Chains A and B, each alone.
Chain A
Amino acid sequence: MDVLQYAIRKLIGGIPLILGVSFVSFLLMVYFGPDQTFELLGKNPTVEEIAEVRRQLGYDRPFLMRYGEYLQEIVTLDFGLSNSTGEPVSAMLARTIPISLALVTPGFILGNLLGVLLALIAAYHRGGWIDKTIMGFSVVGMSVSFLIVIIAFQILLSSSFGLNLFPVRGWNVHSLQDYVMYVTVPTLASVFVALGYNTRFYRAVLVEEMTRDHVRTARAFGIQPGKLLYKHILKNSAIPIITRIMFSIPLVVVSGSLLIESYFGIPGVGKITFDAITTGDQPVLKAVVGLTAVLFVITLLATDILYRAVDPRVSLK
């Protein structure tokens, strides 16, 4: 019951956040976003044709009126039709978000699990060669451009110049086997990059926990390393780890991964978001921004509840 009350309170409290985010982003879209008028016009347009397209795009209407319509769209989850493709935005998102989700989820989970694991090992051997080796690889993962990593993995694992084990691109997924074939290389590329950032972050968190008195005491009692790491260090470091993981989720779900989707020819939400940004397709942009804001509020709520689950001292009041 406490949790339910807290959830309702938190969701109501999230409304100003959604209003703020939607207002600022809409302001930026309207006054600094690309003007789509001439993308929709042919050659030699007349003044009347230009005015007509601007009217159709809503550019001639007052800002507040347009913002009011945007809020209504967020509430009803009906964002109208894309100005570029003419498709209903909700249908575009329903088609692309599951694909992006299926694409990035394995990498997201593996990147975080392996990151925690490597961070534990590095933290346990702090200052030693194992720590230095892991941190060295982390720096490599962080330093190399994601684009280069994608191309390198594509050539190495998929192309005829490399091992030729997986498809270069595409998303013809009809079975688990297909799924494994299409998702492996993108997953490896994203894990390679994510591991660098995750491992460094988690190591810092774990090292800090290791210096605490209760860990020293546990060590003095001769507790096994595995138990020490899991029970006394990892569990007590759960809050910053959960925070980092949870706050990545909205971006993973709604924004997808543009580079991976582009290079691997995967029709996910990242690609349509990027196209909407560059062309100024406001219905799509409004949907992506609005949904991200809503997801952030839900994530905030879920994170707080998870805090409580891992640390009973945390109060939901």
Chain B
Amino acid sequence: MLPISEKTMPIKLFLSVLAVALLATVGCTDEQQVTVQRATSAGPGLKVFKASLDGAPSTIDPAQSANIYANTVVLNAYDTLYRFKYLARPYVVTTNLAASMPEVSEDGLVYRIRIREGTYFVDDPVFDGGIGREVVAEDFVFSLKRFFDPTQRPRGTWLWQGRIVGLDEWKVAGSDYDQEVEGLRAIDRYTIQITLKNPYPQLIYTLAQGYSAIVPREAVEAYGREFSSRPVGSGPFRVLSYDSSRIVFAKNEKYRQVPVDIFEEGYDRATQGFSGVEAIHGRAPPFIDRLEIHFIQENAARWNSFTKDNEIQYLSVPNEQVDNILLSKQPIRPKPEIAAKYHFYHGTEAGFVFMTFNMSLPDFGYSEDPERERRNKALRCAMIKGFDWQRRNESFYFGLGQIFPGIITPTVPEFDPELSRESVELDIEGARKLLADYGWTAETLPELAYATTAGVSQRMFYEQFRGFMKKIGYPAHKIVLQQYATFGDFSKDISDGVLPFIAKGWGLDYPDAENTLQMFYGPNGSPGANDANYSNAEYDRLYEQAAVMQPSPERTAIYRKMNQMVIDDCIAMSGLSRTRIYLWHKNVIGIPDREIVGGFYMRFVDVDNSAGAN
């Protein structure tokens, strides 16, 4: 037997180590934890807005802000030249860091943009004396050049590739930042000049995206790849802490003071008066002291946190709560108890869900045999006729989604409400007849691999699709589920062009139908956005013709013609735009929005801390 002291020693030692470990963890001693404490100990009277997102950004470097989550963060930490008006719908571009809308040459090739003087980056050790310096035109030039420097791992290059004189060549020559680019210059301290190879009407939209946010060269060079988690911007807020569960901002006290004119921002008293946004008219944003964005993927946790009253104040309503909060769906109205407690708003998403056939594969797409190609087209058209969009809407989107024909979504100005809806209407008999007319039988129909990521919802989508196809005579065993453990592997196979049928969603990058039409432009084939590998010379010609045209009825007519081609060639089962429902606490003054690039609205949010405001 061991002596008493020896017997108890391991226990005492273990408890001591544990106590020290816990205290070390709980106590805030290192720099980061001190920062977090500063970030989270909101004092009395401080205005704090706690928003939520249903996903998290993996990086907050503007050059890599490829999704809505990253954009939401980037647009609050950084400045863009332009932004979308706070309240105007459809979306309208307005000035942000730019002092005015660009001066454009008559041929549409030269853009001259003057930026506001007196805008400063937030304080950071990378600057002389740690004091943020003024934002100048050269910063924009540097920020855009990063997209043509492979070491920066940029994801938004496609927006400017082949567009700006000398920029692609600058990349080929080795991306030397000290080398001037003919088409991208700071002609003085506050003036930017962009020279295009061809007119690019969507350029202005790209300058409102998170991708085009302005970063200081000092920070990019000092932090290297770590810059993606150490933001140094000149936006309305400065980042205090950032991790996988939330980001905390403080008001950027140095942010330029530009009073907001809500009528210029598109305010409509009839539909938006309930929100109290008139209270911000004439005042300079940002109005809150602290902004917290919580990344909560789990719907139950998001909902519980929102309804708790002292945690998150805004959310996009999760699907499983829709029935609990709505009194009616046509029109969409909240239950009285919800309306009494929260502000409520809804709108159609700027994007859509749809499915495409991969035309590069001979089973359903193009074939060297003209007869087979004719039969394949009939097969695709029959499958489109057999797809029940109404049922899909009711089963997965509570019947609230907006079903529309083609690939021009309802949220863009080029949408045609009069377009025939035949391609989205269920026609089982028509589908069966088409299959029979072209000699398709249960024996001859090809096997279809329905590819998707692993998940319960994805499995349900597949089963419903298989059920629809069974009704038109497609044998169930010939529609095979091909599941991927991760989205990365799924993306790889899409990009490699090996999947015959792809179900996907698309969020608009900007409110112009060109953004969805480019998904069917031949040169954008795999690994590009045209994963249908649609190849139609006339379509491509029209795309190229419209690509250099300013918005006009002529351009809209061309867009619609292209849309009709995709419908007539039976390339896609399309589409449905989901309805988003937003709820926020009554003490929050504002109208949230996450569409297009998301995040701009947060600078206009105010919080009423007075008793009874919530």
Minimum distance in angstroms from A288 CB to a CB of chain B: 14
Q: A38-B495, A266-B245, A312-B1 are in contact. Are A170 and B311 (CB under 8 A)?
A: yes
B28 to A174, Cβ gap below 8 A? yes
Residue in A38, A174, A265, A271 whose CB lies within 8 Å of B37: A174
B12 close to chain A: CB less than 8 A: no
Contact B298 A262 (CB under 8 A): yes
B182 at the interface (CB under 8 A from A): no
B150 and A49: CB pair below 8 A?
yes
CB-based contact A38/B311 at 8 Å: no
Q: Is B489's beta carbon under 8 Å from chain A?
A: yes
Q: Which of B2, B28, B494, B527 contacts A312 (CB 8 A)?
A: B2
Query: CB distance B244 to A272 under 8 Å?
Result: yes
Q: Is residue B263 within 8 Å, beta carbon to beta carbon, of the partner chain?
A: no
1/0 per residue, CB under 8 A from B, across A28-50: the answer is 00000011111111111110011
CB distance A265 to B294 under 8 Å? yes
Contact code string A82-107 (vs B, CB < 8 Å = 1, else 0) = 00111110000001101101100100
Asked if A263 and B298 make an inter-chain contact with CB atoms under 8 angstroms apart, the answer reads yes
**Distance in angstroms between the alpha carbons of A143 and B244 in the assembled complex:** 30
Pick from A167, A171, A275, A312: contact of B311, CB under 8 Å: A167
Residues in A with CB closer than 8 Å to B485 are 34, 278
- With the chains together, A53 CA to B311 CA distance in Å? 40
Stretch at the interface among B126-134, B300-308, B418-426: B300-308
- In the complex, identify which listed stretch (A12-20, A123-131, A152-160, A204-212) lies at the interface while the others stay far away: A152-160
Question: Known contacts A81-B226, A279-B488, A280-B488; is A164 also within 8 Å of B25 by CB?
Answer: no
Q: Contacts A154-B301, A309-B10: A43 and B528 contacting too (C-beta < 8 A)?
A: yes
Contacts of A36 in B (CB 8 A): 488
Q: How far is the CA of A261 from the CA of B298 in the complex (A)?
A: 11
Q: Kindly identify, within residues 166 to 212 of chain A, every residue whose CB is under 8 Å from any CB belonging to chain B.
A: 167-176, 178-179
> A144 within 8 Å of B by Cβ?
no
- CB pair B486 A158 closer than 8 Å: no
Do B158 and A280 have beta carbons less than 8 Å apart? no
Interface string of A233-264 (1 = CB under 8 A from B): 00000000000000000000000000001111
Confirm or deny: B297 has a beta carbon within 8 angstroms of a beta carbon on chain A: yes
Q: Is B18 on the interface with A (CB-CB < 8 A)? A: yes
A267 engages B157 (CB within 8 Å): no
Q: Contact at B486–A81, with CB atoms within 8 Å? A: no
Residue total for A at the interface (Cβ-Cβ under 8 A): 69
Q: Is B89 an interface residue, CB under 8 A from the partner?
A: no
Question: Interface segment, B58-66, B342-350, B569-577?
Answer: B58-66
B147 (CB) vs chain A CBs: closest residue: A42
- Given A86-B61, A176-B26: A279 and B244 interface contact (C-beta under 8 Å): no
The CA of A37 and the CA of B527, in the complex, are separated in Å by 12
Contact A43 B529 (CB under 8 A): yes
- CA distance in complex: A101, B225 (Å): 28
**B40 at interface (Cβ–Cβ under 8 A)?**
yes
Q: Are B225 and A86 in contact (CB under 8 A)?
A: yes
Docked Cα-Cα span, A277 to B297, in Å, equals 17
**In angstroms, how far is the closest chain B Cβ from the Cβ of A217?**
18
Does A221 make an interface contact (CB < 8 A)? no
Q: Does B524 contact A (CB under 8 A)?
A: yes
Contact (A84, B58) CB under 8 Å given A34-B488, A306-B10: yes
Contact in complex: B307, A173 (CB < 8 Å): no
CB under 8 Å from chain B, chain A span 114-151? 151
Residues on B with C-beta less than 8 A from A41 are 155, 527
Asked whether, in the complex, the Cβ of A160 is within 8 Å of the Cβ of B307, the reply is yes
Residues of B within 8 A of A155 (CB): 304
Tell whether A169 pairs with B296 under 8 Å between CB atoms, given A105-B22, A154-B304, A312-B1. yes
Q: Mark B459-493, 1 if CB is under 8 A from A, else 0.
A: 00000000000000000000000000111110110
Contact-size category for B: 35 or more
B298, A85: Cβ atoms closer than 8 Å: no
Chain A CB within 8 A of B92 CB:
no
Q: How far is the CB of B3 from chain A (nearest CB, A)?
A: 12
Closest to A100 in B: B25
B319 CB-CB contact with A under 8 Å:
no
A69 within 8 A of B: no
Q: Which among A44, A49, A84, A267 has the greatest number of chain B C-beta atoms within 10 A?
A: A44
Q: How far is the CA of A87 from the CA of B309 in the complex (A)?
A: 34
Q: Determine whether A52 belongs to the interface, using a CB cutoff of 8 Å to chain B.
A: yes
Binary per-residue interface labels of chain B (200-235) against chain A in the complex, 1 for a CB within 8 Å, 0 otherwise: 000000000000000000000000011111000000
If the complex has contacts A43-B529, A154-B301, A158-B304, are A280 and B59 also in contact, measured as CB distance less than 8 A? Answer: no
Of the candidates A87, A173, A280, the one whose C-beta lies within 8 Å of that of B486 is A280
Residue from A81, A167, A265 within 8 A of B296 (CB atoms): A265
CB-CB under 8 A for A275 and B304, given A81-B226, A84-B58: no
Which one of B24, B156, B228, B246 contacts A265 once the chains associate, using CB atoms below 8 Å? B246
Q: Are B25 and A99 in contact (CB under 8 A)?
A: yes
Do B26 and A45 touch (CB < 8 A)?
A: no
* Inter-subunit contact A102/B488 (CB<8 Å): no
CB-CB < 8 A to A96: which residues of B? 243
Give chain B interface residues in 283-324, CB to chain A under 8 Å: 294-298, 300-301, 304-305, 307-309, 311
Q: Quick one: closest A residue to B307, CB to CB?
A: A160
Min Cβ gap A105→B in Å is 6
Which residue in A37, A86, A159 is a CB contact (below 8 Å) of B59?
A: A86
Q: A43-B529, A102-B25 are in contact. Are A160 and B309 (CB under 8 A)?
A: yes
Q: Are A34 and B304 in contact (CB under 8 A)?
A: no
B550 interfacial contact with A, CB 8 Å: no
Q: List 28 A-B contacts (CB under 8 A).
A: A34-B488, A34-B489, A35-B489, A35-B492, A37-B492, A38-B488, A41-B155, A41-B527, A44-B158, A45-B158, A85-B59, A85-B228, A86-B225, A87-B229, A98-B24, A102-B25, A154-B304, A158-B304, A167-B311, A168-B308, A169-B296, A262-B298, A263-B300, A275-B58, A278-B487, A278-B488, A309-B2, A312-B1
The 7 closest A-B pairs by CB, nearest first: A86-B228, A42-B155, A267-B243, A44-B528, A34-B488, A102-B25, A34-B486
Contacts A84-B59, A265-B295 known; list 6 others, CB within 8 Å. Answer: A37-B488, A85-B59, A95-B32, A154-B301, A158-B304, A168-B308
